Chain A
């Protein structure tokens, strides 16, 4: 068990938290933009956007693909902590 958390591990956790919060905020803005457009400019959502898709479909599929992309980026960032090693899996209870 991780009773005593080393300084580098604590820093690593803090860094992950900061990255996580920033990415959540960023995604919330993209998601919020989608909701605002849907509510106030629904006709614009029917306009052509990318690859012959309209804005609604392109944005909607984009939100799903961005979520997957963000998840992979986050995992990549978490795998390379700046200080200290990667915390090894601790055995279960």
Chain B
């Protein structure tokens, strides 16, 4: 069904694109939809283009995993629109005709400005494009059951058809369509979450679902007094131990025991036996291939398969708590929960609310929007968050353990779980300071980045007047604000419904939808694709304008006719689309959400200082603007390349990275501002001696 919805959506999108392509022959038609879009449509299109998969799937997933810290992105992503509305929207519209570099250059008419601005649009668009394309690929694998690269290729091709064919008009209507769908279905899902309420006893996700269902982990007593720990499960024995050492205190923060335990086995065909493990049917070869960690026995007269699993020690209560694991064997094959991975043996969904305030008993029943958040942030509420830890054991098995961590409601619903802001035991003061700076840096980039994103800036030119630009920005703020409030409910709803795939946070919203039935699941999956299409087409449109209008248009001003400008725009759209496809496949393992945070930092550093100063500081000069843009790009991109996250990606020790924090904004944004001021002062008409 998900495939059917996807095909229908793509067909609709292409139909719109074909219908509008006739309007895209002139320069104004292709690049700015003849500036004839109604402000209401433009406002929803703003929302549809701005709300990327990072907002939709990424934030919901982060909230499901980390609680309030995911919502910080929602707050920052929206707050940036205030800058967009109050200081950027109307002047941009009044001063430019096609691209924001037109507006920047209006006072000065220096090709250098347009070249620098065009270059920065290209860089930011590409930074933003990669995570969107990767996201497209990540989505198709679980949703449609086709390989990652096909997702990237399909999205890339459809977007090229949209942009190269219909230009800004079709891009606008695709974004409008997506914005409407996103708002409608996020509202429906939120109402469903509120109607369901919170249950501590039963798990809604088990009902009528065919994929990853949620599972309540078992507990067993453990006696640690002897040399070898004894567990209270019949015929089970401890076969291994793994401890996670705290980096700062040197103490064991988590202890896991590997426990070999019997499961009744039934003989199948071809020397295989099957057993039910965690409610899944698992098939085992007999005898096991060399080095495979299971064996057969008859401890109580019936055949059993002895399977190794990992349990988490709860020291306070003296019990072991069952966990899930994925083990990659040295030969590359994957085991799930001790048995070979297969269509029927997959990781179970995780997450639930194990305790709510006493007045409610086991279930809250339907609740209102304020009540739900109040229950979840209560001190006596306990949520079970999915966590994982990975290590390689002495035999070369790569083991990832997925366990649930009880977290009280008041900690879950305030900042700190993803961005550690409080000093932890044994942590050097400098580390705490860096953590805090990293957080401030991110919030700064989100606040200043939004209004400088190229695919947002181009949308000021699709409406007829400055007033319409203002009104459409207000519609965007209302729509996007509503959506971000809903992300909170989708995120906590996924956790409370046990709808979390412990391996990928991005699937939380679709899996939440599936817990309400296949129809909603299919719709949400389809919308996830239109979200990618809408954002990517906006980015490619911006890149196309930047190259055709700013870079080429300025370099060959004389001989560049309107007709060839449109043709160049179309060719650039195809080229950038193909680059996007290649990068989307190459960076398939990239984390989607933090790359988006970086794109904001680059946009805020490169574009915003010149935009603001040109509007509000009379002494701004052309060299000042050019220097600020270039310094912004080079610093932000450079600091990202030298950051601990990138160091880890190069295979080096993150602690050795030259830049101690991941978010460059706190350094690159102020320096870009300072550069603009200094260079402008140095290049005033009554020029002082300095260069």
Contacts and interface: CB of A to CB of B under 8 A. Distances in A.
Contact of A57 (B68, B78, B82, B474): B68
Interface string B51-75: 0000000000000000010011011
Contacts of A55: 414
B670 to A, nearest CB: 15
Interface string A22-58: 0110011001001100111011011000011111110
A90 interface: yes
Contact of B79 (A20, A27, A91): A27
A90 B484 contact: no
B370 A53 contact: yes
B415 interface: yes
Interface residues of B, number: 57
B87 A67 contact: no
Interface stretch (B190-198, B292-300, B461-469): B461-469
Contact of B415 (A31, A42, A63, A88): A42
Given A39-B440, A52-B374, A89-B467, A70 B481 contact: no
Contacts of A43: 414, 422
A67 B72 CA distance: 15
B374 A39 contact: no
A89 B468 contact: yes
Report the contact-size class of chain A (Cβ under 8 Å from the partner): 35 or more
Interface string B510-547: 00000000000000000000000000000000000000
B35 to A, nearest CB: 3
A24 B86 contact: yes
A92 B370 contact: no
Contacts of A91: 464
Contacts of B467: 78, 86-87, 89
Interface in A55-93: 55-57, 60-61, 63-65, 67-68, 70-72, 74-75, 78, 86-93
A66 to B, nearest CB: 9
Contacts of B443: 31, 35
Most buried by B among A27, A31, A53, A56: A56
B377 A42 contact: no
B85 interface: yes
B85 A74 contact: yes
Nearest to B97: A93
A17 B78 CA distance: 21
Contacts of B221: none
B36 interface: yes
B609 interface: no
Nearest to A44: B414
A50 B32 CA distance: 45
Most buried by B among A19, A71, A93: A71
Interface in B422-438: 422, 436
Contacts of A23: 82, 86
A23 B470 CA distance: 15
A16 interface: yes
Contacts of A92: 28, 32, 34-36, 464
A64 B415 CA distance: 17
Q: Which 6 pairs across A and B sit closest by C-beta, in order of nearness?
A: A92-B35, A52-B374, A20-B86, A56-B414, A89-B465, A46-B410
Given A17-B91, A51-B374, A54-B410, 16 more contacts: A24-B82, A27-B86, A31-B79, A38-B72, A45-B415, A56-B415, A63-B78, A67-B481, A72-B474, A74-B85, A88-B465, A89-B464, A92-B35, A92-B464, A93-B32, A93-B97
17 contacts: A19-B86, A21-B86, A21-B87, A23-B86, A27-B79, A27-B82, A42-B422, A46-B414, A52-B374, A54-B377, A57-B68, A60-B75, A64-B484, A67-B477, A86-B467, A89-B464, A93-B35
